[in-house]
Amino acid sequence: MNCGLWALIKEDWIANGKDWTKPGFRAVAVYRYGVWRMRIKPKFLRAPFSMLYRMLYRRVRNVYSIELPYSARVGRRLIIEHQGAIVIHGNAQLGDDCIVRQGVTIGNRYMDRPTESPVLGDRVNIGAGAKLLGLIKVGNDATIGANAVVLHDVDANTAVVGIPAKPIGNHKPQPQVVYT
């Protein structure tokens, strides 16, 4: 991402309906701050920023129940629709314009492979309660149904539902709403 911290936060704010009180927006803003502070060299200059980040991260995690560590790779304009029981693995990758709802887990599948986590394309729409587990790839414009458990790759423009998740067919991506 070539944008600065404030430009990214402004994009996220606009994508979240220009509502700075939304817990999802706050979680993403803290994430962006956490990524930004890692650019500060040397470590002793970064230390006060890291202390503030850890405080803000824990507040978002404990109050809103949204776990989004700075080590995850998150594209632009992430929308976290609702708060509660959201866990995103530190090695997960999310593309631009993704939507995550409450109760979603994007994490590892096996205890003996703790670094394996999902890679999501752009405009992936994840329903409430869905679980995406392991080293899987989810293509652009895919839709993950509510409470689906995704254990295998999902092709672009495909909707999946069920436990384990199975495709229900290709679909046309919905036009993205652009807030100005």
Question: Which domain CATH number covers 87?
Answer: 2.160.10.10
Is pLDDT of 173 > 90?
Answer: no
The stretch 101-121 carries a mean pLDDT of 95
Please state the φ and ψ torsions of residue 44, each to the nearest 5 degrees.
-65, -30
Which of helix, strand or coil describes residue 19? Answer: coil
pTM of the model: 0.89
- Residue 110 belongs to domain spanning: 22-170
- What's the domain count of the chain? 1
Q: What pLDDT is stored for residue 87 in this prediction?
A: 97
Is 5 inside any structural domain?
no
The stretch 147-157 carries a mean pLDDT of 96
Q: Looking at the DSSP assignment, which residues form a beta bridge with residue 87?
A: 67, 105
Is 143 inside any structural domain?
yes
The stretch 12-17 carries a mean pLDDT of 94
